[in-house]
Amino acid sequence: MRPLFGEEEKSAICAYMDEDGFITEYKKTNKFERMIADYTGAKHCIVVNNGTVSLTLAAIALGIKAGDEVIVPNYTMVATPNSIKMFGAKPVFVDVEATSLCLEINLVEASISEKTKDVMLVSANGRYPEVGIDALIALCRKYDLKLIEDAAQSLGSYYPDGSHVGRKGEVGSFSFSAPKIISTGQGGALITDDDKIALNLRRLKDFGRDTGGNDVHSSIGFNFKFTELQACIGIEQMKKLPDRVVRKKEIWAKYQSELKGLDGIKLFNHSLKNTSPWFIDSLVEDRSSLISHLRDHKIGTRVMYPPVNKQEAYNLSGYHPVSEMVGKKGLWLPSSVQLSDDEIFFITSKIIDFYR
């Protein structure tokens, strides 16, 4: 069996155990936060216990309250709308661009009401809206809306002007759950350049404590803190991130060149110069038969997110053609950074066999 951690992670954890060691947040957490801030170019990074509460805290820190409306893409992981449902705000679902699977900006404008306070942009699989992020920022300014970037799937992806995804909104959010490009088991991070928002986020995740090491509370806060043990893993994972970004791009390029021109399967486009595909997302014909065919060859796949408004948890009316089409045809192909070239060629040869 492949070892769970490399030698480097083992030694970091051993070194941690040999230190005077806090279990909750301390030096290692600060170091991990600094590494993410440096990598993304943000002034502040605040880590929390997952990439769902990170969104909740971002919204609360920006003043979003129960009853406010927040525009959310209808194609996303359900955590995005749930994060604001948690405190009584209302997600308003908007369809996505067929090319990027990110918010369709014209539809965002059409969905703005008196109660709209915030837009949550999900950079689906590291991509950003094809019309350009500046158009969305201009729209948010026009209507005085906050912009939160749910960049859970986007560590290692950049906008064309070189800013890391997550840096264009007031706050950007990342997730370190198991299948992400780096993982701490569970974990999330918030980035911002705004000192006041950063302080607010730190207080919100630590019981509203005024500063560390005291029990003075001038605001309401919760406990969404990280741990030093996770930070040890995160620090070692961050060292691997640049190589993983390169490999993720190679994997996507290999799939793309092998499957190009094949009727029946289409990958979503990536500008590999900027974006690092987290997963290989595709639209396929005859999805269930392809899944069975690949399963027969011991190749796992996963259907992409269904349209959120049609999930039983929400069960809202509304026709969102792109997210509905993805719900029928979307398929994630094996995407692990550990895939070898031979394994990718084996997978693509079985897909080619199926469609030919």
Ligand X SMILES: Cc1ncc(COP(=O)(O)O)c(C=O)c1O
List the strands of the sheet with 90-94, edge to edge: 44-48, 188-192, 171-175, 146-150, 116-122, 69-73, 90-94
Task: In whole angstroms, give the CA distance from residue 187 to residue 50.
Answer: 4
State the DSSP string of 202-251: HHHHBTTBSSTTS--BSS---B---BHHHHHHHHHHHHHHHHHHHHHHHH
What residues between 94 and 133 interact with ligand X by CB under 6 A? 122
The verdict on 84 binding ligand X (CB under 6 A) reads no
The verdict on 153 binding ligand X (CB under 6 A) reads yes
List the strands of the sheet with 265-267, edge to edge: 265-267, 280-284, 330-333, 302-303
Which residue, 282 or 348, has its beta carbon nearer to ligand X?
Answer: 282
Residue whose CB is nearest to ligand X in the complex, by number = 51
Site stretch for ligand X (CB under 6 A), options 23-31, 37-45, 71-79, 267-275? 71-79
Q: Which of 30, 111, 177, 183 binds ligand X (CB under 6 A)?
A: 177
What is the closest distance, in whole angstroms, from the C-beta atom of residue 195 to ligand X in the complex?
Answer: 25
Q: How big is the site for ligand X, counted in residues (CB under 6 A)?
A: 14
The verdict on 339 binding ligand X (CB under 6 A) reads no
What is the closest distance, in whole angstroms, from the C-beta atom of residue 151 to ligand X in the complex?
Answer: 8
The verdict on 152 binding ligand X (CB under 6 A) reads yes
The verdict on 56 binding ligand X (CB under 6 A) reads no
> Hey, what's the torsion of the CAs at 120, 54, 324, 141, to 10 degrees?
0
What is the closest distance, in whole angstroms, from the C-beta atom of residue 104 to ligand X in the complex?
Answer: 17
Which residue, 278 or 354, has its beta carbon nearer to ligand X?
Answer: 278
End-to-end distance of the chain based on CA atoms, in angstroms? Answer: 36
Which residue, 77 or 351, has its beta carbon nearer to ligand X?
Answer: 77
How wide is the angle at C-alpha 55 spanned by C-alphas 53 and 61, nearest 5°?
Answer: 100
- 104-107: which pairs have CB atoms within 8 A and are 24 or more residues apart? 104/129, 104/322, 105/129, 105/131, 105/135, 105/136, 105/139
Going by the DSSP 8-state scheme, the letter that residue 192 receives in this structure is E
Q: Please check whether residue 225 is in contact with residue 201, taking contact to mean a CB–CB distance below 8 angstroms.
A: no
The verdict on 150 binding ligand X (CB under 6 A) reads yes
The verdict on 36 binding ligand X (CB under 6 A) reads no
- Six token digits for residue 178: 């198991």
The verdict on 154 binding ligand X (CB under 6 A) reads no
The verdict on 157 binding ligand X (CB under 6 A) reads no
Here's the x/- map for ligand X, 262-301, by CB under 6 A: it reads as ----------------------------------------
The verdict on 79 binding ligand X (CB under 6 A) reads yes
Helix or strand run (H / E) with residue 15: helix 7-18
- Six token digits for residue 308: 């959120």
Which residue, 51 or 334, has its beta carbon nearer to ligand X?
Answer: 51
Q: Which of 29, 40, 52, 116 binds ligand X (CB under 6 A)?
A: 52
* Interface contacts to ligand X, rule CB under 6 A: 50-52, 76-77, 79-80, 122, 150, 152-153, 175, 177, 188
